Structure 1
Amino acid sequence: MSDLASSTRDTIDPTPTDWAGSAMQRRIRKRYAAERRFKLIGLGAVLLSAGFLAFLLVTMIGNGARGFTQTEVALEVDFPRSSLFLDPAAVQGFGGEQALANADFDTLVGEAARAQYGANGAALFSDGARLRLRDAVRDNPEILRGRATIWLPASTELDSAAKGGGAAAAEAIYDGLAAQNRVRTGLNWSFLTGADSTDPTLVGIWGAFKGSLLTMLVTLALAFPIGVLSAVYLEEYAPRNRWTDMIEVSINNLAAVPSIIFGLLGLAIFLNFMHLPRSAPIVGGLTLALMTMPVIVIAGRNAIKSVPPSIRDAALGIGASRIQVVFHHVLPLALPGILTGTIIGMARALGETAPLLMIGMRAFISSPPGGFSDSATALPVQIFLWSDEVSRGFVEKTSAAIIVLLVFLLAMNGLAIYLRNRFEQRW
């Protein structure tokens, strides 16, 4: 009877530890094959992502590197024989800026270019050549007393030919000028120190960069303390009721709202109701702070929640007050997680364009802003505007501006990561 029961049990419930059996070997082979396929799929996904990233970086750097250089053509100007009729004393004395503004440097460039390079000589220079010539006279008015050779920015076609992307005719002209040592290509300092312009050879990134910097300062100054304090209240002090639940749901929903909605909110509140200056960094910062705050609140709550309850109990056990527990123990331990959320929120705000377009930060700004209430634009908006230009010269400037934006983003994230790691090492 016992032998029959044992035989029946073996038939119904065969032992799974028969590693030498054919069924177990098939299952093991399938398991290993599935694991190998999963590894290959994961490796392929990583390689594909790295390939797309490498393609993006190579494309941006390849096109953007040329945006940091500029081609210049030498122009010999005989000021006494020109039609400029500008006295050095008038430039140096009171009202010199007005005298320079009234002087016809455009005609002077055309006359000197035709005298030196022929009837089509003026086509070798960009529209901004007159501004560069005016700056040269302002820096050294004594050149008005004689002849001077001044390096002026080349036209867009000649600049493209110098960088290997121009038409055949422009490349032939460039080769002829290079043989005479009348053309050169060097670092474009005006791109790093100037502002927007209608001429691609004169555009600069500093105006938009300063606008983004001022906007980010306003965003951080508002979103970080308000977001952290909101997270502390909701996690440590707020009672658990329907009102608190409704607030939590609202914050979670706000974190997923499209950014253009915040732009409409900023337009309605800060411009139409509060009448703050249009296209100003303070308005952009306020709008982006509304968008960034929910992200910081959610990250802050999760970081505070991850602090072990034993920390609170130990602090309360030695006589610490509730506020001392929060600000002396809980917040320092939660700060690395809070900074991580801040990095994510600020990185999102730095790359936003739609909210800033809604509040008017797409205006043509020819000079860097002097303060938080001055008219300004931002790097993402500047990139958007340049990408919509017809002139070919703006293509490389757009890529160069993207490189500046990426460097700005990496620097900001690097600082936040350094602060986060420093607090982690302290605890």
Structure 2
Amino acid sequence: MSEPGNMNGAPTRTAAFEARLKKRYAAERRFRRAGLGAILFSVAVLLFLLGTMTINGIGGFQRAELRVDLDFASAAFSSDPSLGDRGVQIRSLESQGLPQFVEASAEQTLGAAGAEQLNGDAWRVVADMILERPDILHRTSQVWLPATESLSSALSGDGQAELQPLARDLAARGLLERHFDPGFLTRSDATDPQMVGIWSALKGSILTMIVTLALAFPIGVLAALYLEEYAPKNRWTDLIEVSINNLAAVPSIIFGLLGLAVFLVIFPHMRSAPLIGGMTLALMTMPVIVISGRNAIKAVPPSIRDGAMALGASPIQVVFHHVLPLALPGILTGTIIGMARALGETAPLLMIGMRAFVATPPDGFTDPSTVLPVQIFLWSDEIDRGFVERTSAAIIVLLIFLLVMNGLAIYLRNKFEKKW
């Protein structure tokens, strides 16, 4: 005969039951705390990385500049647009004595000691100003021109001790200041850290990513569609699947060796070209796109296929009109993640020769070029202290590039995602 308290079938909350329930709640609380701790740790590491790069690299977007009074009215310079090419016009100004004029004007404004710390390429900055604004040739102008790296370091309290009093004196007189350097984003590589820029590497990265995407995306998506929708399930498709998974895990330098042994043999005159770099990175990115594409296609409910077939759609129409649009968000997300990985690769591009000093940006896919990761690697190996800040600044630009690509992935996923 049952207890009176159990006539309605309710379970009895014994002491052992209460103890087990208490342990379950405690385990759940520990799990939540562990998950929250993992998230906080990840955010802290990310903030530490971004904070360190920002602190070290913010100076890379600035450069020390000296104020020089240029009395163009007393000189007889002329700018002839009919010469056409910008380089020819700059050489014409050089032959007219512009470097000597800038040096003499700096000595009048800054004194002999200060003029010695004017960057040797300062006259080129003045030449660019003349070509952009020819009207300054008829008046006296105060212009800020780049200083030497030695004076820049002295202004920061580092470098040569004998230059620090001069730097403090010029700064107190308002003749030496640090200004934002927009040319860092528009100039190409140089041997002087005060005159370097990342435009050549940035343009090379963009061209390389275009080639990578143009090759890896269509081939990867078509391969995923065939393997998932059409290929028979047998040992050969299993072998192909295993091979693709293995390719996704192969170290990137192996793809660089493949590009060196195959692509540079076929195109020997395109060493360090974005075309060769993009083809090499496409081989590395393709397995990632195939794997993410197959997973996205698998996630499409079978009812979509059955419904389309019931309405009379052909197998091709089922795949391209119904399955592919629904799988596209996942495919695009995987593609952008693979492209972001390719953007940060250095080893395979070093193997195909994209570590050369490139002073002019590439005009096309077959011109010599470098990319941001390789440029960062080259600057980090420089002895000159001025390249430390420039290297960190280039890393910031690369991180912004990666954030933009990841943001694009999220936008495309939300735009094409369809919920049912």
Alignment CA distance shift 1:232-1:199 (3 Å) = same
Query: Please, which of 250, 260, 272 is the counterpart of residue 267 of structure 1?
Result: 260
Aligned to 1:7: none
* One-letter amino acid of the counterpart of residue 364, structure 1: F
Matched, 1:235 2:228: yes
In 2: Cα distance, 1:39 partner to 1:313 partner: 41
In 1: Cα distance, 2:136 partner to 2:231 partner: 74
Alignment CA distance shift 1:303-1:92 (3 Å) = closer
CA RMSD in angstroms, aligned pairs only: 2.9
Query: Please, which of 55, 77, 80 is the counterpart of residue 88 of structure 1?
Result: 77
Shift of residue 202, structure 1, vs aligned partner: 1.0
Alignment CA distance shift 1:370-1:426 (3 Å) = farther
TM-score for both structures, normalised by structure 1: 0.85
Aligned to 2:7: none
Identity %: 60
> Given that residues 110 and 122 in structure 1 are in contact (C-alpha distance below 8 angstroms), is that contact kept between their aligned partners in structure 2?
yes
Alignment CA distance shift 1:303-1:123 (3 Å) = same
Aligned to 1:349: 342
Could you tell me which runs of 5 or more consecutive residues in structure 1 were left unpaired when the two chains were aligned. 3-16
In 2: Cα distance, 1:357 partner to 1:221 partner: 22
Q: Which has the larger radius of gyration?
A: 1
> Given that residues 90 and 124 in structure 2 are in contact (C-alpha distance below 8 angstroms), is that contact kept between their aligned partners in structure 1?
no
Aligned to 2:6: none
Shift of residue 170, structure 1, vs aligned partner: 4.6
Aligned to 2:50: 57
Aligned to 1:246: 239
Shift of residue 156, structure 1, vs aligned partner: 2.0
In 1: Cα distance, 2:49 partner to 2:160 partner: 26
Matched, 1:325 2:318: yes
Alignment CA distance shift 1:175-1:222 (3 Å) = same
Shift of residue 39, structure 1, vs aligned partner: 3.4
In 2: Cα distance, 1:421 partner to 1:92 partner: 50
Find the residue that maps to 2:288 and give its secondary structure: helix
Could you tell me which runs of 5 or more consecutive residues in structure 2 were left unpaired when the two chains were aligned. 2-10
Alignment CA distance shift 1:373-1:339 (3 Å) = same
Shift of residue 30, structure 1, vs aligned partner: 4.1
In 2: Cα distance, 1:92 partner to 1:245 partner: 66
TM-score for both structures, normalised by structure 2: 0.87
In 2: Cα distance, 1:98 partner to 1:340 partner: 50
Query: Please, which of 404, 407, 416 is the counterpart of residue 414 of structure 1?
Result: 407
In 2: Cα distance, 1:31 partner to 1:420 partner: 38
Shift of residue 410, structure 1, vs aligned partner: 1.5
Shift of residue 235, structure 1, vs aligned partner: 0.9
Alignment CA distance shift 1:32-1:90 (3 Å) = closer
Which stretch of the first structure deviates more once superposed, 33-42 or 277-286? 33-42
1:157-215 CA distances to partner (integer Å, 9 max, x unpaired)?
43345456666655543332233222233221111111111111111121111111111
Find the residue that maps to 1:362 and give its secondary structure: coil
Shift of residue 216, structure 1, vs aligned partner: 0.7
> Given that residues 326 and 418 in structure 2 are in contact (C-alpha distance below 8 angstroms), is that contact kept between their aligned partners in structure 1?
no
1:31-60 CA distances to partner (integer Å, 9 max, x unpaired)?
444444433333333322222211111111
> Given that residues 79 and 131 in structure 2 are in contact (C-alpha distance below 8 angstroms), is that contact kept between their aligned partners in structure 1?
no
Aligned to 1:10: none
* One-letter amino acid of the counterpart of residue 308, structure 1: P
> Paired residues, what number?
407
Shift of residue 19, structure 1, vs aligned partner: 3.8
Find the residue that maps to 2:206 and give its secondary structure: helix
Find the residue that maps to 1:370 and give its secondary structure: coil
> Given that residues 200 and 393 in structure 1 are in contact (C-alpha distance below 8 angstroms), is that contact kept between their aligned partners in structure 2?
yes
> Given that residues 80 and 145 in structure 1 are in contact (C-alpha distance below 8 angstroms), is that contact kept between their aligned partners in structure 2?
yes
Find the residue that maps to 2:276 and give its secondary structure: helix
* One-letter amino acid of the counterpart of residue 360, structure 2: S
